[in-house]
């Protein structure tokens, strides 16, 4: 039986009304300070990422969001803040202020290959996910990834596997995650702007939570985190200020997670 809850409203007001100290993982994927009005697949407005007051206004929002969500964490809970080159550096400083510098766990780089490259810089094709823990005994499952070999000869005491791309070993997962961004023709694409792939959220949840744990997403958008959480046997709590997002998330959850 799926266990999730999705509420429509401002996370800065909803989070303080929730019972504190219960979440194993809070994943925050807020607006990125893109300066754009984000539109859905049909061209309608989905959410606003424009900040007339500039970075000062944005950081005041981000600080308020972090302050509101932090108390929801269990004593050893983990918070993952997803941003990109525009504000990730500010986000990390905010997290250090809130958790203390020793609470840093990882900066995960999500690397992808979407179209559109500036003529005046290298392609900016990664996001940053800062992971901080509220206590030293946080849950961590060491995931493994394929490490391809040039050939399969001359190795001893190493288990070598093989697939269509060649021989590989399984090694401890690194903090650079090469995962495709969602494309419009993919089955899981729900038409929400800046929708994240289920593979990304599944990895985070598997890494930092146990079955039965509560996963909170205060800016849940189309509900990706909650779908991944429920599929993996975790509980989910999501908020979003956009009624359209909440409706979409509820639909995805009822189709995917029952
Ligand atoms: C980057 S999108 C999240 C996308 C989501 N991870 C997904 O996979 O669909 C950011 C979301 O934050 C929401 N949002 C912005 N300000 C908010 C606030 N104060 N409280 C709750 N949600 C907010 C927006 O409506 C938007 O859906």
**What CATH number is given to the structural domain containing 50?**
3.40.50.150
Distance CA 122, CA 45 (A): 30
Tell whether 112 is covered by a domain. Answer: yes
The rounded distance, in Å, linking the Cα atoms of 216 and 236 is 6
Specify the pLDDT at position 140.
Answer: 98
Q: Are 127 and 83 in contact (CB under 8 A)?
A: yes
The per-residue pLDDT for 1 is 55
Query: How many A from CA of 14 to the centre of ligand 1?
Result: 14
Q: Domain total for the chain?
A: 1
The ligand 1 atom nearest the CA atom of 46: 25
In a domain, 157, yes or no: no
User: Distance from the CA of 146 to the center of ligand 1, in angstroms?
Assistant: 33
Confirm whether 158 is domain-assigned. Answer: no
**63 domain residue, yes or no:** yes
Is 168 within a domain? no
User: Is the residue at 221 inside a domain?
Assistant: yes
Ligand 1 centroid to Cα of residue 221, in Å, is 5
- pLDDT at 44 (0 to 100): 74
pLDDT digits (tens, 9 = 90+) for 50-101: 999 999 999 999 999 999 999 999 999 999 999 999 999 999 999 999 999 8
| Average pLDDT for the chain | 94
Tokens describing residue 175: 């903090």
**Is 150 among the domain residues?**
no
Q: Is 236 in the pocket of ligand 1 (CB under 6 A)?
A: no
Span 104-158, pLDDT tens digits: 999 999 999 988 878 899 999 999 999 999 999 999 999 999 999 988 777 778 8
| Ligand 1 center to 223 CA (angstroms) | 10
Dihedral sign computed on CA atoms, order 144, 150, 153, 156 = negative
Domain interval for residue 205 = 4-141+174-256
Q: Which of 249, 190, 194, 241 is CA-nearest to residue 223?
A: 249
Q: How far is the CA of 11 from the centre of ligand 1 (A)?
A: 9
Cβ of 106 closer than 6 Å to ligand 1, yes or no, is no
Residue 169 domain-assigned (yes or no): no
Residue 65's CB is within 10 A of a number of other CB atoms, namely 20
Query: Is the Cβ atom of 49 under 6 angstroms away from ligand 1?
Result: no
């Amino acid at each position: 039986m799926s266990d999730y809850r999705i509420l429509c409203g401002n996370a800065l007001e909803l989070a303080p009304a929730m019972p504190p100290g219960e979440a194993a993982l809070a994943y925050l994927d807020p607006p990125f300070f893109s300066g754009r009005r984000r539109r859905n697949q049909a061209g309608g407005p989905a959410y606003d990422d424009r900040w007339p007051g500039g970075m000062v206004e944005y950081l005041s929002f981000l600080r308020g969001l972090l302050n509101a969500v932090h108390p929801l964490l269990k004593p050893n809970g983990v918070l993952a803040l997803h941003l990109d080159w525009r504000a990730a550096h500010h986000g990390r400083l905010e997290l250090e202020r809130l958790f203390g510098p020793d609470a840093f766990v990882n900066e995960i780089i999500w690397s992808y290959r979407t179209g559109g490259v500036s003529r005046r810089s290298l392609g900016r094709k990664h996001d940053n996910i800062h992971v901080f823990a509220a206590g030293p005994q946080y849950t961590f499952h060491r995931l493994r990834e394929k490490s391809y070999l040039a050939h399969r000869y001359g190795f001893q005491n190493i288990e070598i596997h093989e697939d269509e791309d060649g021989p590989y070993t399984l090694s401890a997962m690194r903090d650079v995650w090469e995962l495709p961004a969602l494309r419009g023709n993919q089955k899981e694409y729900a038409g929400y702007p800046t929708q994240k792939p289920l593979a990304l959220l599944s990895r985070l949840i598997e890494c930092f939570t146990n079955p039965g744990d509560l996963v909170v997403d205060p800016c849940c958008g189309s509900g990706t985190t909650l779908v991944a959480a429920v599929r993996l046997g975790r509980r989910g709590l999501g908020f979003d200020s956009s009624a359209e997002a909440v409706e979409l998330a509820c639909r995805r959850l009822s189709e995917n997670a029952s």
